[in-house]
């Protein structure tokens, strides 16, 4: 066994990690799907649990020596049930996409129809975009938002009646509004469809009671455990008891092998953190910070998709300012502000050079930033976009960013 430290054995990787830590410490992370985990979560991820194979489920493993693994996984399951009011929980999916794919394999036959959201209107690749392999196996029909940026439930019902989907899928990666789960459930019941919600982006806000919770209403709910839930990178499936066996068989042995128990232990820790009263205050602040950014960008003349935000993110068309989403992302990166280029509804531009940028507040809120900082950051973002070809100005903004981040240290213990 190699007993050298990382620094001694592989200084190149050590150096890359060090530079990434500095980037995270000195920049403003505003990609809405990113966040910062606690030291306890990091400790579990790097623990000896990574050594153990544990194919199967609690009490029903294919390997011996899983008694302590079972303790950690059961804690994750129990805490997730408490957080969301779930009947059954599978914490083994490796990420959000595998969780969604496992649901499709559990409940669908090849050629079955799924009614999901169009990617450019805020949906996700795994909700049936033609470039994915799932779209070659199942028939995905995609609904859109209306002219005021809201999901048109009358149109959704008409499409459901026309296409008779096996699953009606809601939940989004760039949609910034609340979801009316009860009304969508009524449409699904009318056509005999299974209801599925992908809450990957908003799971933390739901767990804290700051957004509507589909878990007691829908048949199946999938999520990632990072993003607003502020845990390790991973996935989870929650479902009604009637679907439990099919879901578990689809995850293992249908789709995955041995679960990553170090990651599952880290999920358990994140769920415990989310049960603390402080997490509710954190979720409230995420929304308050997003509303502050909304007001600033509207005042600066930007076009906000869906009319604004009810959650943690904003999708903004920047073409009115004379540049593309890709150019805005690059300029903001130079300025030390990380966002991502993103399609807007029915975008005339390509996905790799779209019209919009997507940004949010979870990571900044984790660092302790509030409305005062959001006002300042919004001004810097506007300044960077308006001066996107002026590298000297962008570097000047970056220096201001670095000074701000010094007031909100991220991982001083790791420096």
Task: Find how far residue 257's CA is from the centre of its chain.
Answer: 24
Amino acid 121: pLDDT: 66
Looking at the chain, the domain(s) classified CATH 3.90.1150.10 span: 280-409
Averaged in consecutive runs of 10 residues, what is the pLDDT profile of the chain (415 residues)?
A: 92 97 97 97 97 97 97 98 98 96 97 88 74 91 82 92 97 88 97 97 97 98 97 98 98 96 98 98 98 98 95 97 98 98 92 96 98 98 98 98 97 86
Does the annotation list 119 as a binding residue? yes
Does the annotation list 241 as a binding residue? yes
Active-site amino acid positions = 53, 55, 198, 224, 227, 233
| HSE of 387, CA atoms in CB hemisphere, 13 A | 17
Looking at the chain, the domain(s) classified CATH 3.40.640.10 span: 42-274
pTM for this structure?
0.96
Amino acid 128: pLDDT: 74
Cα–Cα distance for residue pair 270/41, rounded to 1 Å? 7
Amino acid 219: pLDDT: 98
- Kindly list the distances between the CA atom of residue 149 and the CA atoms of 144, 292, 315, in Å, as whole numbers in the listed order: 9, 20, 11
Task: Annotate the chain with three-state secondary structure.
Answer: CCCCCHHHHCHHHHHHHHHHHHHHHHCEECCCCCCCCCHHHHHHHCCHHHHCCCCEECCEECCCCCHHHHHHHHHHHHHHHHHHCCCEEECCCCCHHHHHHHHHHHHCCCCCEEEEECHHHCCCHHHCCCCCCHHHHCEEEEECECCCCCECHHHHHHHHHHHCCCEEEECCCCCCCCCCHHHHHHHHHHHCCEEEEECCCCHHHHHCCCCCCCCCCCCEEEEECCHHHCCCCCEEEEECHHHHHHHHHHHHHHHCCCCCHHHHHHHHHHHHHHCCHHHHHHHHHHHHHHHHHHHHHHHCCCEEHHHCCCCCEEEEECHHHCCCHHHHHHHHHHCCEECEEECCCCCCCECCECCEEEEECHHHHHCCCCHHHHHHHHHHHHHHHHCCCCHHHHHHHHHHHHHHHCCCCCCHHHC
CATH 3.90.1150.10 fits 280-409, yes or no: yes
Does the annotation list 123 as a binding residue? yes
Yes or no: say if 229 and 207 are a contact pair by the CB < 8 Å rule: yes
Amino acid 144: pLDDT: 84
- Kindly list the distances between the CA atom of residue 114 and the CA atoms of 240, 340, 395, in Å, as whole numbers in the listed order: 19, 28, 47
Amino acid 107: pLDDT: 98
Yes or no: say if 297 and 314 are a contact pair by the CB < 8 Å rule: yes
Cα–Cα distance for residue pair 20/373, rounded to 1 Å? 23
Q: Which CATH number fits domain 42-274: 2.60.40.10, 3.20.20.300, 2.60.40.1120, 3.40.640.10?
A: 3.40.640.10
């Amino acid at each position: 066994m190699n007993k050298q430290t990382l620094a001694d054995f592989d200084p190149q990787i050590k150096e890359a990690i060090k530079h990434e830590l500095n980037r995270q410490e000195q920049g403003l992370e505003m990609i809405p799907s990113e966040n910062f985990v606690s030291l306890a979560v990091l400790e579990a991820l790097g623990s000896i649990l990574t050594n153990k194979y544990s194919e199967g489920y609690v009490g029903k493993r294919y390997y011996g020596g899983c008694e302590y693994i079972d303790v950690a996984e059961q804690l994750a399951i129990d805490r997730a049930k408490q957080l969301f009011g779930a009947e059954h929980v599978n914490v083994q999916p490796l990420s959000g996409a595998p969780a969604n794919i496992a649901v499709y394999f559990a409940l669908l036959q090849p050629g079955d129809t799924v009614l999901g959201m169009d990617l450019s209107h805020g949906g996700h690749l795994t909700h049936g975009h033609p470039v994915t392999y799932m779209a070659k196996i199942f028939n995905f029909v995609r609904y859109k938002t209306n002219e005021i940026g809201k999901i048109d439930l009358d149109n959704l019902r008409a499409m459901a009646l026309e296409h008779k989907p096996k699953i009606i899928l809601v939940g989004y990666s760039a949609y910034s509004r609340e979801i009316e789960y009860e009304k969508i459930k009524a449409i699904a019941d009318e056509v005999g469809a299974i209801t599925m919600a992908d809450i990957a982006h908003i799971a933390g806000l739901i767990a804290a009671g700051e957004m509507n919770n589909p878990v007691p209403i829908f048949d199946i709910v999938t999520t990632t455990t990072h993003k607003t839930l502020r845990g390790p990178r991973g996935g989870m499936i929650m479902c009604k008891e009637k679907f439990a066996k099919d879901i578990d068989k689809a995850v293992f042995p249908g789709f995955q092998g041995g679960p990553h128990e170090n990651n599952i232990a880290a999920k358990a820790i994140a769920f415990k953190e989310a049960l603390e009263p402080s997490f509710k205050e954190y979720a409230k602040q995420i929304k308050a910070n997003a509303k502050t950014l909304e007001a600033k960008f509207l005042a600066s003349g930007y076009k906000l998709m869906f009319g604004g935000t009810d959650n943690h993110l904003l999708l903004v068309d920047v073409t009115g300012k004379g540049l593309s989403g890709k150019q805005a992302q690059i300029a903001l990166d130079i300025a030390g502000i990380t966002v991502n280029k993103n399609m807007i509804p029915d975008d005339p531009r390509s996905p790799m050079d779209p019209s919009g940028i997507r940004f949010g507040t979870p990571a900044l809120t984790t660092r302790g930033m509030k409305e005062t900082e959001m006002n300042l950051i919004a001004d810097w973002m506007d300044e960077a976009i308006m001066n996107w070809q002026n590298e000297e100005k962008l570097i000047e903004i970056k220096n201001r960013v670095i000074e701000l981040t010094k007031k909100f240290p991220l991982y001083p213990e790791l420096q």
